[in-house]
Chain A
């Protein structure tokens, strides 16, 4: 995963691929504790948003995009959370 600045401010984004994933009710429930959660009706896509506006886009293809994170550490933390939720 490569982390790079985005938005021209002190913000960071990153992108990674994990294996194909299934967006299940359990996963949604887990993330709802920490984020505002949006899920497409077909469960192919999920977007998590924290209070500071960082967004994590999760696609069933396994593509993970983290945008507008406030630090590189936050990117790493969120990516670990996604990995833990999906990669068993």
Chain B
């Protein structure tokens, strides 16, 4: 994997039109990845060549849109080891995918949904809402002190659950749950499993069929793709039973004044005019990732994260969140510095050195509140980050902390 060559594909890193500024160091990839030129061009190609609506009209342009969108869907399906692209529903993002499941599964009073204690708000609030509205039981399995999951504790908590909706890789600390074991145990207890794959899909090779997961939610904007495109994967037979929660144009084959005949999966979920430019851009992003290779990406991130981890441990009063072994945290290192405001640090790094890191609770407020941890800083890496950038970050962080 040639990082210097990869960097040339990302216009924002080249800084061609902005000579007076220092180049950026982008370490906020858990929030959003940067976009390569080919993805941007692919979206422009839609607007230049076939900017019509798909799935409706019979004319050439409309047919072309449908073909291009389905090609993107197939690209995404094969990326995850799936043959049937119909198992991938286009949505806006992971949040919408999880909401689709929460509304569409038709859970009833007393049904149990199990999550972990370190879920992103996107996989917490929907279940809290269902708990209030329908009386489902939202059960939370605690993780260990270092945020890893004790599978034996999980097994105790899963008994009686209808659904396990759990983060695959945590945006809080980068730790990846033992998904295979979780799924096997959940299935032994007749529970479905929904994985929040927002942070795993961009960073590792995932074969959804081998994993045997029932539902999997992810966002393309963290995978070099455009904003506003995500996917819900579901086993076909599960998606068939899942009810759509947004209905309307293009979700139905026929209607009367009192009834509607829904289309098949995935169309019944994709209501209204789609983000076609986004879908074809997403397909291109997936092609790019395939070309680089997910194993290479994973190894690269772990290598850089080890450098950051090693250096950060030399700082006084700095505490890293999550497992001690950096390789268990993929490309993420979150930390707090005693008596220092994380937002101040992030602001100074941004404005003074054009180093962009995340500060705050990373949408996992519940974990921060329960463990009484102050807002933290998060470094999250991706394919275009370099050793040199890690060294500069450490150097600048040292300067900032020396000042504060």
Contacts and interface: CB of A to CB of B under 8 A. Distances in A.
Interface of A: 38, 40, 44-45, 47, 55, 57, 59, 61, 63, 65, 67
A47 B404 CA distance: 9
A31 to B, nearest CB: 16
Contact of B403 (A38, A55, A59): A38
A40 B351 contact: no
Given A38-B403, A38-B404, A40-B403, A55 B351 contact: no
Nearest to A65: B347
Given A38-B403, A45-B351, 16 more contacts: A38-B404, A40-B348, A40-B352, A40-B399, A45-B348, A47-B348, A47-B404, A55-B341, A55-B344, A57-B347, A59-B351, A59-B352, A63-B351, A65-B347, A67-B343, A67-B344
Contacts of A59: 351-352
B309 to A, nearest CB: 26
Interface residues of B, number: 10
Nearest to B399: A40
Contacts of B399: 40
A54 to B, nearest CB: 12
Contacts of B343: 67
17 contacts: A38-B403, A38-B404, A40-B348, A40-B399, A44-B352, A45-B403, A47-B344, A47-B403, A47-B404, A55-B341, A57-B344, A57-B348, A57-B351, A61-B351, A63-B351, A65-B347, A67-B341
A61 B351 CA distance: 8
Interface in B322-375: 341, 343-344, 347-348, 351-352
A55 B342 CA distance: 13
Q: Main SS of the interface on chain A?
A: strand
Interface of B: 341, 343-344, 347-348, 351-352, 399, 403-404
A40 B341 CA distance: 17
A59 B403 CA distance: 14
A59 B346 CA distance: 13
A35 B377 CA distance: 26
B130 to A, nearest CB: 25
A47 B347 CA distance: 11
Contacts of B352: 40, 44-45, 59
A61 B353 CA distance: 11
A34 to B, nearest CB: 19
A63 B253 CA distance: 55
Nearest to A61: B351
Contacts of B348: 40, 45, 47, 57
Contacts of A65: 347
Contacts of A45: 348, 351-352, 403
B55 to A, nearest CB: 41
A57 B403 CA distance: 13
Nearest to B21: A61
B20 to A, nearest CB: 11
A75 to B, nearest CB: 16
A63 B403 CA distance: 19
A63 B352 CA distance: 10
A65 B350 CA distance: 12
Nearest to A40: B403
Contacts of A63: 351
Nearest to B375: A7
A55 B399 CA distance: 19
